[in-house]
Each structure stands twice: as C-alpha cells, then as structure tokens.
C-alpha cells in the first residue's frame, strides 16, 4: 500500500469520473480528507447520501481551501470557469490537475488562471462509460487504463516532484501513466475516441431519420452492428458537445482523412474491387486483435460492465 499521498483532496465536479477518483483513492488509502464542490444541488444531495466525501459544497473556493490535490472533473468547457473560481483559495504548493478529455485548451486555461504558487498538471484518464452522475462511478474504473499527463514546460525540481507524486497517485489506483504533449494528446484522442463518437452519433442519427426503415425495425435488428453504435451514441451530450468544440482542429483534420478513406471504400464497392475490401478488413481485424492482446478491449467481463474510453 502506498500510504496517504495527499492529506486533503478536493474534487470539483463529482460525476462519473470525479466520484470514481474518490472511490478509488479512498479504497487505496491514498487520501485523507475529501472535499467535493459540484454545481448540481441534486448531485450534492446524492453525494451526501452516498457518504464518500467529508465536505460537500456548491462553492469551489471553499472546497479547494487547504487541499493538497485539486482534481477538476467538470465538462471541458467548464474547466476555465472552475479553475478561475479555485485560483484565489488555493494553498501554496498544491497540485491542480484535471481529467478533461481534451488537453490543449484545458492546459491553456489552467496556465492562464492558476497562480505560480501551485503546480498545474493537466491529465486525462482514458477510462469511462457512457453513464454520468455521482452514482455512475466505481473504484475499479481506472484499473489497467492509461492516464495521460501533459505537464507544463517547467523543469524546476519542485514541479517535477509534483508530477511524479501525481503519477504515483494514479498508479496507486491501478492506472498506467504516460506523459505527452497536449497537442499530440488531442490528435491521438481525435482518432481513438472523438471520431468514433462522431461516427456513432451520425449513424444513429441517420438511422433515426430514415423513412424507408421503421424505428421498430432499427431496434429489432440492431444486433447486426448498430447496437454497439447506440451504446456510444448514448454518451453524455454536454461532455461530447464540449469535446468537439474544444478539439475542433484535430477532429477536423482526422475527419478529412476519414472522409477520403470512405470515398476510396465507396469506390471499391462501386467497382466491385473485392480484393481491396478483403485486404482492408484483414488489416483491421489485426488491429482488434492487438487491442485485445494489450488488455484494452472495451468490455471487461470481470467488472461486469462496459468500459467505453474517452
Ligand atoms: P458527469 O458525470 O456529468 O459529471 C460532471 C459533474 O460536474 C456534474 O455533477 C456536473 O453537474 C458538475 N459540473 C458541471 N459544471 C460544473 C461547474 N462549473 N462547477 C462545478 N461542477 C460542475 O461528467 P463526467 O463523465 O464525470 O466527465 C467529467 C470530465 O471527465 C469531463 O471533462 C470529461 O471530458 C472527462 N472524462 C470523461 C470520461 C467519460 O467516459 N465520461 C472519460 C474520461 C474523461 P451538472 O450535471 O448539473 O452539470
């Protein structure tokens, strides 16, 4: 056991990810006191009922006061406002991190809003589900998942130590930690997560709008592939709206590539180029096998739930 790493942790935004961080950190015994600030009165009441925080408030400044670790777990476009609300109340030497799915814009907001006396270390756990809210969290969520930290360009010892301590925190709750440049993170995630979600939202929307196929048929025959898209397309609208707004450039770049490839596929189908289709489907099958071999497949039967990764 790692022992207490942060005597007081404040989590701002206690939904799926925020509540999972608390549950996992408590279970691992790596935090002392836990304070939560959440904008939703209903969520605050539920967190009090669930009893996993020592202090629950609507006031961000109150929650972060005296905290050694502050985890911003609000939607991406709310990170600026949340970090601003925290800034004046932060303890010197505190670490402020986030879990946002986009890193470039969040890293900029943290650099802009937070004082030099704290260590701002943006981060993103590549773990999640399509559920949201404080009831959706669970302590095993981060096990064997990657957490990407995008530290600032600071090279002073105190900052490097703070980064290592945060990496130790994530390791203690079962995650693997990688450091990355924020821009590169956003490009990688545009391919592995953001574009797949966009495709799922689009295909489910297309099916819903089709007049020749009834809604009853769409649901009845969904096992033919559509069902997996509907799970992804059930992801939180606020979270995903924010991701596409905040990661516009990388998503558009990858979408351009995707559209070209789709045109090529469409041409291969039109001209009956069966070999081209077969060659692509063989290559993509290998990628799936590689994901399974790396232990990163989306369904983990041992946890009994779906783990989409955003
Ligand atoms: P969630 O379940 O909806 O939780 C977010 C919580 O923050 C909600 O209780 C929300 O209240 C509250 N909130 C919103 N704006 C706030 C503000 N300005 N101040 C204080 N509280 C605020 O969302 P989540 O899925 O945990 O996602 C949180 C973050 O994690 C996002 O940045 C997302 O990109 C990232 N992330 C998500 C996943 C995933 O799979 N879900 C995976 C990795 C990373 P209301 O409901 O009233 O708005």
Task: Count Cβ atoms below 10 Å from residue 88 Cβ, excluding itself.
Answer: 10
Please identify, in words, the CATH class of the domain defined by 184-293: mainly alpha
In whole angstroms, what is the distance from residue 190 CA to residue 248 CA? 9
In whole angstroms, what is the distance from residue 224 CA to residue 203 CA? 13
Is the CB of residue 101 below 6 angstroms from any atom belonging to ligand 1?
yes
pLDDT of the residue at 216: 86
pLDDT at 304 over 70: no
pLDDT of the residue at 1: 61
pLDDT of the residue at 215: 83
Extract long-range pairs of 35-38: CB within 8 Å, 24+ residues apart: 35/8, 35/9, 35/10, 35/11, 35/62, 35/63, 35/64, 35/67, 36/10, 36/11, 36/12, 36/63, 37/10, 37/11, 37/12, 37/13, 37/62, 37/63, 37/64, 38/12, 38/13, 38/14, 38/134
Is the CB of residue 78 below 6 angstroms from any atom belonging to ligand 1?
yes
In whole angstroms, what is the distance from residue 131 CA to residue 24 CA? 17
pLDDT 10s digits, 186-224? 999 999 999 999 999 999 999 988 878 888 888 888 888
Task: Count Cβ atoms below 10 Å from residue 307 Cβ, excluding itself.
Answer: 20
pLDDT of the residue at 303: 36
- Distance between Cα 136 and ligand 1 center (Å): 11
At residue 225, the 3 state secondary structure works out as coil
Q: Are 30 and 24 in contact (CB under 8 A)?
A: no
Is the CB of residue 17 below 6 angstroms from any atom belonging to ligand 1?
yes
Listed by start position, the domains of the chain span 6-180, 184-293
- Distance between Cα 74 and ligand 1 center (Å): 4
pLDDT of the residue at 157: 97
pLDDT of the residue at 310: 59
pLDDT at 152 over 90: yes
Is the CB of residue 122 below 6 angstroms from any atom belonging to ligand 1?
no
In whole angstroms, what is the distance from residue 157 CA to residue 278 CA? 54
Between 310 and 267, the higher pLDDT residue: 267
* Residue nearest (by alpha carbon) to ligand 1 atom 41: 128
pLDDT at 302 over 70: no
User: What is the CATH code of the structural domain delimited by 6-180?
Assistant: 3.40.50.720
In whole angstroms, what is the distance from residue 205 CA to residue 237 CA? 14
pLDDT 10s digits, 53-86? 999 999 999 999 999 999 999 999 999 999 999 9
Q: Burial code of 34-50, b = ≥16 C-beta within 10 A, e = fewer?
A: bbbbbeeeebbebbeeb
The encoded tokens of residue 46 equal 């539920």
- Distance between Cα 150 and ligand 1 center (Å): 20
- Distance between Cα 75 and ligand 1 center (Å): 4
pLDDT of the residue at 300: 40
* Residue nearest (by alpha carbon) to ligand 1 atom 17: 39
**pLDDT band at 307; cut points 50, 70, 90:** very low
Q: How far is CA 183 from CA 74, 190, 241, in A?
A: 20, 11, 19
Pairing between β-strand 123-125 and β-strand 146-149 as defined by DSSP bridges? antiparallel
* Mean of all residue pLDDT scores within the chain: 93
pLDDT at 299 over 80: no
pLDDT at 92 over 60: yes
Per the DSSP assignment, residues forming a β-bridge with 10 are 35, 70
In whole angstroms, what is the distance from residue 30 CA to residue 23 CA? 11
126-130 mean pLDDT:
92
78-107 mean pLDDT:
98
pLDDT 10s digits, 211-269? 788 888 888 888 888 999 999 999 999 999 999 999 999 999 999 999 999 999 999 99
- Distance between Cα 67 and ligand 1 center (Å): 20
pLDDT at 305 over 50: no
Is the CB of residue 82 below 6 angstroms from any atom belonging to ligand 1?
yes
- Distance between Cα 78 and ligand 1 center (Å): 9
Is the CB of residue 99 below 6 angstroms from any atom belonging to ligand 1?
yes
**pLDDT band at 306; cut points 50, 70, 90:** very low
pLDDT of the residue at 218: 85
In whole angstroms, what is the distance from residue 169 CA to residue 186 CA? 23
Is the CB of residue 96 below 6 angstroms from any atom belonging to ligand 1?
no
Q: Is the dihedral of CA 284, 207, 189, 223 positive or negative?
A: negative
Q: Are 70 and 44 in contact (CB under 8 A)?
A: no
């Amino acid at each position: 056991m790692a022992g207490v790493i942060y005597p007081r942790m404040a989590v701002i935004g206690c939904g799926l990810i925020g509540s999972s961080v608390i549950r996992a950190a408590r279970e691992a015994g790596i935090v002392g006191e836990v304070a939560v600030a959440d904008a939703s009165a209903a969520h605050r009441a539920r967190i009090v009922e669930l009893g996993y925080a020592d202090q629950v408030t609507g006031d961000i400044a109150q929650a972060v006061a005296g905290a050694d670790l502050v985890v911003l777990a609000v939607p991406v476009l709310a990170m600026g406002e949340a970090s601003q609300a925290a800034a004046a109340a932060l303890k010197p030497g505190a670490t402020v991190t986030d879990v946002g799915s986009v890193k470039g814009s969040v890293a900029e907001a943290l650099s802009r809003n937070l004082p030099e006396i704290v260590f701002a270390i943006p981060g993103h756990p590549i773990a999640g589900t399509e559920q949201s809210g404080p009831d959706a969290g669970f302590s095993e969520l981060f096990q064997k998942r990657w957490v990407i930290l995008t530290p600032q360009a600071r090279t002073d010892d105190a900052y490097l130590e703070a980064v290592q301590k945060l990496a130790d925190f994530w390791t203690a709750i079962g995650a693997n930690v990688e450091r990355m440049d924020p821009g590169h993170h956003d490009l990688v995630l545009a391919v592995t997560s953001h574009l797949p979600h966009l495709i799922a939202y689009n295909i489910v929307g297309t099916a819903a709008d089709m007049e020749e196929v009834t809604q009853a048929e769409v649901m009845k025959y969904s096992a033919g592939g559509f069902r997996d898209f509907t799970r992804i397309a059930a992801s939180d609208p606020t979270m995903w709206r924010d991701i596409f707004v905040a990661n516009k450039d990388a998503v558009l770049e990858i979408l351009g590539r995707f559209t070209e490839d789709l045109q090529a596929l469409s041409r291969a189908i039109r001209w009956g180029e069966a070999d081209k289709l077969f060659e692509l489907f063989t290559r993509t099958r290998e990628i799936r096998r590689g994901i399974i071999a790396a232990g990163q497949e989306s369904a983990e039967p041992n946890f009994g739930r779906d783990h989409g990764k955003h």
